[in-house]
Structure 1
Amino acid sequence: MMRSLLAALGFLTRVPVPAWVFKDAGATNASLAWYPTVGLLIGGVLWGLAWIGSSLPPLLLAALLLLVWTGLTGALHLDGLADSADAWVGGLGDRERTLAIMKDPRSGPMGVTAVVLVLLLKFAALASLPLADTAIWLAPMLARTAITAAFLSMPYVRSQGLGSALTHSPRLPCIVGVLAAVAVAACSGWHGARALLAASVVFACWRFACMHRLGGMTGDTLGALTELAEVVVLIVLV
């Protein structure tokens, strides 16, 4: 159990974990169930920093939080967002062309634009929210819960992608992890209910788009899902 949690933490964040964790295939497979928990931990760190820095000017505090948020995750999901934006526009509706563009490590104008706009929206939302509010931890938790839900409900279309190792994750622990995160959000009052609804709408729209264009998902589209879910949850709560 601890190995799978460390595997999830090591993959989704830049928090150092022992190297032997990633050599354990069983831990990697089981790590998917812990994604919502890692999201909650990320949110807890941000909430704590917001509380500590509550006396700072809102714009400065929002910028510092966004810096920590991006650094803590290593911009992993922003990279997926950029690749997905380039591929969705440049793919011109063609599945193979879309997948080929996603593999290109270079970011085009659409990818850069998508990253800038998402970061700008996050910054504006953080500057507008009471940062000790539940939103600061609900956003990362629900976004990573969406990743687990995606693996439960969609095929992974790349055989050698970063997420291919998670396609054989035990389903029952993943379902429990998703339901636990949903319960936590639902028990967080009106803010939690709104956040849950917003994340669910993003997930439904993202799933429809991926199934229609690709017949499934890739690691890049999961990164895009994470970023979009986070920013929409923040905006809705503002």
Structure 2
Amino acid sequence: MIRALAHEWRLVLVALQYFTRLPVPALQHFDARWLSQSVRYFPLAGLVVGLASALVLLAASALLPWPVAALLALATSLWMTGAFHEDGLADTFDALGGHVPRERALAIMRDSRIGSYGAVALVLSLALRWQVLVALQPDEAVVYLVCAHPLARAMAAALMASLPYVRLDDDAKAKPVAQPMTVGLAAVTLVIGLAPALVVAGVYPSWIFALACGTAAAAAVHGLSRAWFHRRLGGYTGDALGCAEQFGEIVFGLALLAALRYAG
């Protein structure tokens, strides 16, 4: 039992090491299989990012105007992840924004340069998430950050259970973890990603409607992303997973905001 718990903790550290810049204890006798096994804890890495962003938001708002505090919270998430998912969003839109064959799209994804489609997508993603934070009240913004980050990562990771990995020799983002994901593992990942929202809804029943709307929106964009990647790429890449994560954050926030305003 103790050995099993120690292994699970090791997988949590692997997920944090993979998805964030946080310093974690050195892992002795590293096994590459731990990367694929740590997929279920990717939402926990998102929760850490969301909590840190929320703390920065609240601390900064005590001294600075709310829009500035919101921008600092967004910058915190970018710094903690090294803009990992934003890079995937930009690369995916550069590749799939135009009507190019699959082989050409995959080649564009490997190009480190950013094009017009990627630049526009990146600006719109940052602007939308910033404006969602600005439009929310402090307690609402905290709930958004704490719930959206883990859920968006869980939805993105779940794509690995329903799509094949498009194997690229130099696709460093997903190749270490791109092992076939079972339906059971995908379900566990989704439960972990949903856990913060379920806790908030359990403690504060008034949040149930808004959180249900945000979750439904994230689930819908998950389905649309899956169809898009399947049609254009025949599967997923690391960039595609990053793009799906960004979609999840955006639509969860927009749906949450709309639901709160409607209910209010």
Instruction: Give the alignment's TM-score, normalised by structure 1.
Output: 0.91
CA contact (8 A) 2:161 2:180 kept: no
Which residue of 212, 216, 219 corresponds with 1:197? 216
1:219 aligns with 2:231: no
User: Which blocks of at least 5 consecutive residues in structure 1 are unaligned?
Assistant: none
Change (3 A) 1:51 1:170: same
The 5 Å alignment of 1:147-226 reads 147-160=156-169, 161=171, 162-168=173-179, 171=182, 172-186=184-198, 188=201, 189-226=208-245
CA contact (8 A) 1:5 1:34 kept: yes
Q: Which has the higher contact order (CA 8 A, sep 6+)?
A: 1
Runs of 4+ in 1 over 3 A off after TM superposition: 18-23, 169-174
Shift of 1:154: 1.3
CA contact (8 A) 1:50 1:132 kept: no
Aligned to 1:111: 118
Change (3 A) 1:22 1:196: farther
1:77 aligns with 2:96: no
Aligned to 2:154: 145
The 5 Å alignment of 1:87-102 reads 87-90=95-98, 92-102=99-109
Shift of 1:68: 0.7
Shift of 1:50: 2.5
In angstroms, what is the RMSD of aligned CA positions? 2.0
**Which secondary structure does the structure 1 equivalent of 2:174 belong to?**
helix
Shift of 1:174: 4.2
Which segment drifts farther, 221-230 or 19-28?
19-28
The 5 Å alignment of 1:10-21 reads 10-18=17-25, 20=27
Identical counterparts, % of pairs: 35
Task: Output the CA distance in 1 between the equivalents of 2:29 and 2:107.
Answer: 28
The 5 Å alignment of 1:26-41 reads 26-41=33-48
Shift of 1:159: 4.5
CA contact (8 A) 2:153 2:193 kept: no
Task: Output the CA distance in 2 between the equivalents of 1:126 and 1:223.
Answer: 21
User: Which blocks of at least 5 consecutive residues in structure 2 are unaligned?
Assistant: 1-7, 202-207, 258-264
